[in-house]
Amino acid sequence: MIQRVQLSDSAEYYSHCDNRIYSPLTKTTGDNVQQQPGSVIATEGGLVTLSCQYNTSATNFAYLYWYKQEANDFPKQMLSRFSTGSGDNAAGFKERFNASLNAKTQSVPLTIQRLQLSDSAVYYCALRPTLIIEYIAN
């Protein structure tokens, strides 16, 4: 579909129809994350590591995120890590926040350095749900 059609879009267009029939088989996986312990007490100026263990059947396609939720506010995405080796830190979380995804142990611990009082918050680890769709050509 061409949106916002312009005169320069004038052309002869062709479409292709595949004569095979595809049958989708949808699999849902038992994806989940666990954060232990439930609360952490740390000293200002110190370092803390928050654990996050995850389970997914799609180990080559794990997408994990850390969020920070301060009192009376909505969660803000801090950083993302992917099993492909990519990922980044959001603005405001580049200096003292780090996480490394370990696909072998299925973990992505968050380390916060030089703790500040403003780091007091609820931290969430999230795994993007995996939905595997397989197609069988007839």
- What pairs with residue 127 in β-bridges? 64
Rounded to 5 degrees, φ, ψ at 51 are -85, 150
95-134 burial, b at 16+ Cβ within 10 Å, e below that, comes to eebbbebebeebbbbbebeebeeebeeebbbbbeebeeee
Give the pLDDT of residue 16: 40
Q: Which residue has the higher pLDDT, 136 or 31?
A: 31
How confident is the model over 84-131, as pLDDT tens digits? Answer: 888 999 999 999 999 999 999 999 999 999 999 999 999 999 988 766
Residue partners of 33: CB distance under 8 A and separation at least 6: 52, 53, 54, 55, 64, 125, 126, 127
pLDDT tens profile 57-82: 777 788 999 999 999 999 999 999 99
Q: What is the pLDDT of residue 84?
A: 85
Q: What percent of the chain shows pLDDT beyond 70?
A: 72
Q: Which domains does the chain have, with CATH numbers?
A: 40-137 (2.60.40.10)
pTM flag (> 0.75): no
Q: What is the pLDDT of residue 9?
A: 61
